[in-house]
Amino acid sequence: MQVARGAYETLAFSRPNGDPSLLPVRAQLGRRLLQSRPHRQVTSTLTRRLQSTEASAPLTPPPPPPGSSRWNRILQTTGRITLFTVVTAGGLFYYVAHKDRTPGPQEPHDPTKKTLVVLGSGWGATSLLESLDTEEYNVFVISPRNYFLFTPLLPSVATGTLSAKSIIQPTRYMTRHKKRQVTVIEASATDVDPVNKIVQFKDTSEVQGLVSSTAMKYDYLVYAVGAETQTFNIPGVRENACFMKELDDAERMQRRFLDCLESAAFPGQSKEEVDRLLHMVVVGGGPTGVELSGELHDFLEDDLRSWYPELVDSIKITLVEALPSVLPMFSKQLIDYTESTFKEAKIDIMTKTMVKEIKEKSVVLQMPDRSIREVPCGMVVWAAGNTLRGVTRELMAKLPNEQTNRRGITVDESLRMKGADGIFAIGDCTATSYAPTAQVAAQEGAYLARVFKQLAKRDALRAELEELKGQTAPEGEQERKVRVETLESQVAKTDKTRPFKYSHQGSLAYIGSDKAIADLPFFSSGNLATAGVATYLFWRSAYLSKLFSLRNRALVANDWIKVKIFGRDVSRE
């Protein structure tokens, strides 16, 4: 019986020119016959029936269930669109990634062009380099770190949400794509001579070659060295607190935090010692301090609860701020929202509280009523402001009449350093009416790229003018005079640069528990203040789009997905 059934089905499926839609009909027919007759008789009857069926009218397929063909069409179309999108996006991704990875040949430096030295590889400098037309200059970049750091995501590195390499971009990845060669030198500027236009620099890394310090003459200098962490000379800050400024700081904080956890888990630890070790104090209620507190809370809830269940309820996060409220740059309702979110998350906010000293195992605080309290803690993170770097102070001291602002370099409306010829200063090292933010530094960098384009044009016109003025050919005198006048008016026009104007794109901050706050400019009428989970998604997409390369975007998105699926890593490196 089994063999016979196989034979019928083979017969039904193997007809070379049969209409496939008839196959189920035929198979069913064969099966019916099988059930009613002996094997041989059945075979011949079926063959005859099939032949006669084919010879006579064609079999019509059973009508499809109502609506199924429409669904099939919709599914087919959706499938095709999806396939097309995936293939196109994949192809585009591969193309851009491949283009990024394989820079072509570059023009060498041209001795007839002017030398532009850029100090720094942060927000200001990178934004400048991105937009700069390097054909017009011989460009040198000098910075102690050979990469750009996306600072807004630094707190995410400190808590293991993102890996360190995801938020940095080697400077060469950008400069190697420029038309003319850009020389990147990993070194710290140690001195700038604004009169003779010379910058001195030194290799300050661990490994050094036979030559580790030298000097370079510049025609133009872009001074974008940023600022360093302000400690207000409070005792113990430098020795006992973790900073949150550089990549190393974030990695150090992560190690220290996990070390506190492991030490608290050590057998025989007293309750007081466990509480001390697991008390994390963040100093500074600006966006960095708030984001870090929020990220620490997420780490605790999402991961530590699983891996350190016996300790997690002893972990305490305190945010200390000297001003009357956190996030002073945000609107009142967003401040209130942040405070209530932190309250729910059991993050203590201590406002009007000043740090007086940081000891190895405690922090000394001056409370709002001016009383002094010593609070035991395992870790203090210091995220409380900027101060000028030593090299900036020294440069300003060389121009005592013009550089008198203790907050930073004074610049004119075109970002030229006052009192210095050929020096432009941007970002956190300057004293302007703008806040020291990445947004400001990036816009200043992009503005300077336009200024340099104009300067190159002006210099070319000037050179032509000089040449023309030096000529003495009586036959074309009238023509020459006209050309000189035209050039003079063009030079006068290019001498004027449009002043820098900052356009505020809004303020964003992540506050933990999958919530963010945003103060966005809304037309010209005012601000749009939003908060919550949707804002958090906006925060993520805004930061993804602000990252400088496809590579960083892919790495950051990948880290976010990885953490969602597998959680954060709690191993201590």
Residues that bind ligand FAD (CB under 6 A): 119-125, 142-145, 151-152, 154-155, 188-189, 224-226, 244-245, 287-288, 389, 391, 427-429, 436-439, 441
Could you tell me the smallest distance in angstroms from the CB atom of residue 190 to ligand FAD?
7
Cα dist from 293 to 85, 333, 338, 343, whole Å? 40, 20, 11, 12
Question: Which positions ≥6 away from 390 have C-beta within 8 Å?
Answer: none
Could you tell me the smallest distance in angstroms from the CB atom of residue 243 to ligand FAD?
9
Could you tell me the smallest distance in angstroms from the CB atom of residue 126 to ligand FAD?
8
Please, are residues 364 and 355 in contact by the beta-carbon 8 Å criterion?
Answer: yes
CA 532, CA 516: separation in Å to the nearest integer?
Answer: 6
Radius of gyration of the chain (CA): 35
* DSSP E strand boundaries for 144-223: 147-149, 168-170, 182-186, 188-193, 198-202, 213-217, 220-223
Measured from the Cβ of residue 489, the count of other Cβ atoms closer than 10 Å reads 10
Could you tell me the smallest distance in angstroms from the CB atom of residue 439 to ligand FAD?
4
Q: How far apart are the first and last CA of the chain?
A: 69
Could you tell me the smallest distance in angstroms from the CB atom of residue 445 to ligand FAD?
7
Nearer to ligand FAD, 180 or 245 (CB): 245
Nearer to ligand FAD, 393 or 572 (CB): 393
Which of 301, 260, 307, 265 lies closest to 280 in space, CA to CA? 260
CA 367, CA 430: separation in Å to the nearest integer?
Answer: 33
Nearer to ligand FAD, 225 or 461 (CB): 225
Question: Which positions ≥6 away from 136 have C-beta within 8 Å?
Answer: 113, 114, 452, 453, 456
Could you tell me the smallest distance in angstroms from the CB atom of residue 534 to ligand FAD?
19
CA 385, CA 1: separation in Å to the nearest integer?
Answer: 88
Question: Tokens in use for 449?
Answer: 């790229």
Could you tell me the smallest distance in angstroms from the CB atom of residue 413 to ligand FAD?
18
Amino acid at 396: M
Range 519-538 burial, b when 16+ CB lie within 10 A, else e: bbeeeeeebebbbbeebbeb
Nearer to ligand FAD, 189 or 264 (CB): 189
Nearer to ligand FAD, 414 or 490 (CB): 414
Could you tell me the smallest distance in angstroms from the CB atom of residue 524 to ligand FAD?
22
Could you tell me the smallest distance in angstroms from the CB atom of residue 148 to ligand FAD?
7
Amino acid at 48: R
Nearer to ligand FAD, 34 or 347 (CB): 347
CA torsion, ordered 337, 339, 344, 346, to nearest 10 deg: 160
Could you tell me the smallest distance in angstroms from the CB atom of residue 429 to ligand FAD?
6
Could you tell me the smallest distance in angstroms from the CB atom of residue 124 to ligand FAD?
3
Nearer to ligand FAD, 43 or 143 (CB): 143
Nearer to ligand FAD, 240 or 288 (CB): 288
Could you tell me the smallest distance in angstroms from the CB atom of residue 143 to ligand FAD?
4
Question: Tokens in use for 62?
Answer: 């059973």
Cα 543 vs. chain centroid, distance in angstroms?
6
Which of 31, 266, 273, 258 lies closest to 160 in space, CA to CA? 258
Nearer to ligand FAD, 141 or 278 (CB): 141
Which of 521, 489, 492, 493 lies closest to 506 in space, CA to CA? 521
Nearer to ligand FAD, 245 or 568 (CB): 245
CA 176, CA 40: separation in Å to the nearest integer?
Answer: 81
Nearer to ligand FAD, 238 or 373 (CB): 238
DSSP of 67-84: THHHHHHHHHHHHHHHHH
DSSP state for residue 302 in the 8-state scheme: I
Question: CB nearest ligand FAD: which residue?
Answer: 122
Q: H/E element holding 34?
A: helix 23-36
CA 496, CA 322: separation in Å to the nearest integer?
Answer: 44
Could you tell me the smallest distance in angstroms from the CB atom of residue 68 to ligand FAD?
53
Q: What share of the chain is helix, strand, coil (3-state, %, to 5)?
A: 50, 20, 30
Could you tell me the smallest distance in angstroms from the CB atom of residue 129 to ligand FAD?
11
CA 570, CA 262: separation in Å to the nearest integer?
Answer: 10
Nearer to ligand FAD, 155 or 422 (CB): 155
Nearer to ligand FAD, 45 or 549 (CB): 549
Q: Which residue in this structure is represented by tokens 């203090």?
A: 380
Please, are residues 306 and 269 in contact by the beta-carbon 8 Å criterion?
Answer: no
Q: Is 243 helix (H, G, I), strand (E, B) or coil?
A: strand
Nearer to ligand FAD, 362 or 443 (CB): 443
Q: Which residue in this structure is represented by tokens 């930073």?
A: 408
Could you tell me the smallest distance in angstroms from the CB atom of residue 364 to ligand FAD?
25
Q: Is 239 helix (H, G, I), strand (E, B) or coil?
A: helix
Nearer to ligand FAD, 12 or 222 (CB): 222
